[in-house]
Amino acid sequence: MVLISKILFFTSHHGFYTVVLLLVFFVGLSYTTKKTWLLIPIIPLAILNGFGGQFLNAWFLNKYGVESTAIITSDVETNSTLNDMYIHDYEAIVKKQDGKYTTTFFSTTTAAIYPIRNSIRIPGDKDIPVKYIPGYEKNIVILYDQSREGKIVLQNEKLAPVNSAKTKYEADKTNKEFIEEYITTLENYVKYYNDEAYKEKIKELKQELKQLK
């Protein structure tokens, strides 16, 4: 596991050198075996690593790693951009199983973040929840949804349909469809968050629905 973690860290953090190694390996293999078709995988593998290297690393670390925390010690904005936003270079310290810390680094473009999404979010928490393979703590995956910031974002995402349904309901409180939608969104919300006020609101809405029927 440690060896795999080291390989994934290298390929996801050093894309250019990974391409160089692929070239050296496959060109050497092709020259030795006299088989030119062995050059074909170079470009697909280079592209695959460029687009999916950090995602594979995130999946692996979340699947097999152990939980810990990390603290960002440096956040430097670079002159490079990604999707019209400046790329940041980070340095951090990671808490090992013995309670001591080790250093690591990552950037906006190389950070392994789980769950895997089409967005890059580095939480602003003091102690960031992470996972790593013991023995190579340098390679970490950030557990965004377990961070304080991530939990707030998730809760707001769950609230969005509730607020939408509430707006419809308040515009026309006699519309059965709007009441039913409001009840459904509230019930979905309280499955994840124990909100007594919303539970009472569900009871009120169900009573209103009965009266309309």
Residue 95 confidence (pLDDT): 96
Q: Which alpha helices (DSSP H) does 69-190 contain, by range? A: 148-171, 176-190
3-class secondary-structure state, position 98: coil
The domain segmentation of the chain, as residue ranges, is: 2-52, 62-143, 150-212
Rounded (10°) CA dihedral 192, 121, 66, 89: -160
What pLDDT was estimated at residue 36? Answer: 76
- Give me the pLDDT at residue 213, please: 63
Does the CA dihedral 109-115-118-119 come out positive or negative? negative
Say if residues 52 and 112 touch (Cβ distance below 8 Å). Answer: no
What does the pLDDT read at residue 208? 87
Which pLDDT value is given to residue 38? Answer: 67
Q: What are the contacts of 107-110 at 24+ separation with CB within 8 A?
A: 107/78, 108/82, 109/54, 109/82, 110/12, 110/13, 110/54
* pLDDT value at residue 20: 78
pLDDT beneath 50: ranges in the chain: none
Place of tokens 């950030």: 142
What would the pLDDT profile of 78-89 be if each residue is shown by its tens digit? 988 877 788 899
Q: What does DSSP assign to residue 109?
A: T
